[in-house]
Chains A and B, each alone.
Chain A
Amino acid sequence: MSPASVLDVVLAAAVLAVALVAVLLPSRRGAVSAFLVLGVVLAVLWARLDAPDIALAEAALGSGVAGALLMDTLTADPARPGRRAGRTAVVVGLLAGAVALAALTVVVRAVPDEPSLLPAAVAEEIHGAGADHAVTAVLLNFRSLDTLLEAAVLVFAAAGAGALVRTPVRAPDPVPAPVTALARVLLPALVLLGTWLLLAGTSRPGGAFQAGAMFAGALVVAFVAGARFAASQGTAARAWTVAGVLAFVALAAGTAMLGQGWLVLDPRWAGAAVLTVETVLAVSIGVGLAQVFVANSEARRVPS
């Protein structure tokens, strides 16, 4: 296996350094800011590891949406000063951490260097799988149950966060001028980019999740810019949130009743099925993540 090149060492050091900064900064704001930087550095690392899909997802979801959620919490900084962990606890924690790390590094050195069975299996079966890009094929055909359940996790997280909201949601009224200006430019661009990512997914890095994150970003910008439709938690919003999961289950049930079995995509119409499900999934993920953002932002609003 190729020895570690300079770029790898620098990148690894950068990731570790930013991670340490993110967890060691005492103030909440510092930690969140460092976390955003970590998101970007990780995206670079994923690109370096030949995983453009993951780099996109990391930038869009990991530091994008999660970053937006975290930044949103900063506006409600609690007055309570953070109590520091006890001296002994810190020492014990560090010791345990060191021991664990040492053990893990020893274990990890024993990882065999030849590839697993799966890349070959995927390459072999990909021709009729409804998507040329291997990752999308895995996500939406070979391991489609994982993707379905993952979308379900998002739906029920949104439902859970939504349940915590006590008072009806209102879009922020005093919207500063630059925000509306930015929104007017960003919204169409984000939607366009999202759609492109969605369609590119079948042949190149892209797909439902990255597109969903783009749509979520668009909705968040719309909400911040005061658009009423983005702030609604009504039936329509909830319907779109669950649309992805329902579409997937409908496909599964359909293939079970009519086709050869649960989620068995016949090569003839596999491509069409994958694309339609991906589209509904992307929009549903976008609305779902936006609902989580809206629920979060609303949860802090004290009814005046």
Chain B
Amino acid sequence: MTAVVAVADVLAVLLLAAGCFFVVAGTLGLLRFADLPTRLHGVAKADNLGLGFITAGLVVHALAHGGGIAGGGGGAGGIVAKLVLVWLFALLGTAANSHLLAAPARPEPGAEEKPEREPGPGPGPETTPEPEAPATREAP
């Protein structure tokens, strides 16, 4: 029996590591990309995926150990359900936020194509809260 638990633990650790990797990748994307849509794209996609892996890792861990730090009723099943719910709400939140942040930047669908833009794509209109975190972003 302990063999299954050991394998589950290894699997959980792997999944958690993958999750962390994707979250870090998403954050790097946020910092490295130039304009708003691409940065939004990076952080939304990668973080959600990372969170999915972390949730999966925790589910495996919970199944293996029958209840974890969250404790509470419903044994492993309850926890798994709650973890999945957490992930779903996180997805819902990120989706809505991405839409809201990106909406003003997208040109109106009906408007005609604007004449040739001036050379070099300037950074998208600054609507996102530009965190002056000491990110070393060299000007485009």
Binding site for B on A (CB under 8 A): 21, 25-27, 29-30, 33, 47, 74, 176-179, 181-182, 185-186, 189, 204
A/B pair count, beta carbons within 8 Å: 35
B129 in contact with A33 (CB, 8 Å): yes
Q: Which residue among A27, A181, A182 has the maximum number of chain B CB atoms within 10 Å of its CB?
A: A182
A176 in contact with B132 (CB, 8 Å): no
Q: Which residues of A contact B72 (CB under 8 A)?
A: 204
| B65: Cβ under 8 A from any A Cβ | no
- What is the minimal beta-carbon distance from B63 to any residue of chain A, in angstroms? 21
A179/B100 contact (C-beta < 8 A), A47-B69, A186-B92, A189-B89 known: yes
- Measured CA separation A30–B72 after assembly (Å): 37
Q: Which residues of A contact B133 (CB under 8 A)?
A: 21, 25, 30
A179 in contact with B96 (CB, 8 Å): yes
* Size bracket of the B interface: 10 to 19
| B131: Cβ under 8 A from any A Cβ | yes
Residue on B nearest A182 in the bound complex, by CB = B96
Q: Which of B65-93 contact A (CB under 8 A)?
A: 69, 72-73, 89, 92-93
The residue that A30 contacts in the complex, of B69, B92, B131, with Cβ under 8 A, is B131
B69 in contact with A176 (CB, 8 Å): no
B89 in contact with A176 (CB, 8 Å): no
| B14: Cβ under 8 A from any A Cβ | no
The residue that A29 contacts in the complex, of B93, B100, B129, with Cβ under 8 A, is B129
A176 in contact with B129 (CB, 8 Å): no
- Measured CA separation A135–B100 after assembly (Å): 40
Q: Can you list 7 contacts pairing A with B, beta carbon distance less than 8 Å?
A: A21-B133, A25-B133, A74-B129, A178-B103, A181-B96, A185-B92, A204-B73
- Measured CA separation A43–B72 after assembly (Å): 18
